[in-house]
Amino acid sequence: MTKFQALIYDKNLMVVAVGADHAGAELKGALLELLRHWGHEGLDMGTTGQAPVDYPDFAQQVCRAVLQGRAHRGVLICGTGIGMSIAANRFQGIRAALCHEPLSARLSRLHNDANVLVLAGRLIGRAMAEEVLRVWLQSPFEGGRHQRRLEKIAAFEEALGKKP
Ligand code: RB5
């Protein structure tokens, strides 16, 4: 969570911003329904429908929602998950993890405190995506030595951000 986070954090009741391009729009709809069913608030950041759009636009929407404290976490979906990962990890303070199965999802929380989950809409099935999301939302950050490593990333992120 960022220092700007205004929302009360409760792992059982989170605000999750979900965005996708056309290759992830259908899965996004299913995951938003599931989030609401689990008691979370799902923010639909688009796109809807199959018309081709550009994934960076939706990565930006979701990352800004997380960084500005309008959402606790973010989920991004494109065809492979790669474009969304590249775009999301350009944002200072975003730790986006592309996960295709639950163990990576769990470790991305335990070790990396990932605040954005990226899914490959064209590569994984709906049941797997749902399980990845469930595990990711429920897994805590372990802190300790992992906190020190994240601080190192934050330090060079800060230094690089100041370069022209
Ligand atoms: C869209 O065709 C596709 O390129 C996009 O969804 C994504 O996979 C990019 O990384």
For 116-144, write each residue's pLDDT tens digit. 999 999 999 999 999 999 999 999 999 99
- pLDDT, averaged in runs of 10, over the chain (164 residues): 55 92 98 97 97 98 98 98 98 98 98 98 98 98 97 94 67
Catalytic positions, written as ranges: 78, 111
**Whole-model pTM?**
0.93
**Per-residue model confidence (pLDDT) at position 4:** 42
The residue whose CA has the least distance to atom 4 of ligand 1 is 79
**Per-residue model confidence (pLDDT) at position 162:** 67
Q: Are 23 and 121 in contact (CB under 8 A)?
A: yes
Query: How far is residue 146's CA from residue 107's CA, in Å, rounded to a whole number?
Result: 11
107 lines ligand 1 (CB under 6 A): no
Nearest residue to 107 (alpha-carbon basis) of 139, 150, 66: 139
The residue whose CA has the least distance to atom 7 of ligand 1 is 79
Query: How far is residue 72's CA from residue 10's CA, in Å, rounded to a whole number?
Result: 9
**Per-residue model confidence (pLDDT) at position 6:** 55
96 lines ligand 1 (CB under 6 A): no
Query: How far is residue 117's CA from residue 133's CA, in Å, rounded to a whole number?
Result: 8
83 lines ligand 1 (CB under 6 A): yes
State how far the alpha carbon of 54 is from the alpha carbons of 47, 78, 93, 140, in Å.
10, 10, 22, 32
Residue keyed to tokens 């929380």:
109
**Per-residue model confidence (pLDDT) at position 160:** 87
**Per-residue model confidence (pLDDT) at position 12:** 74
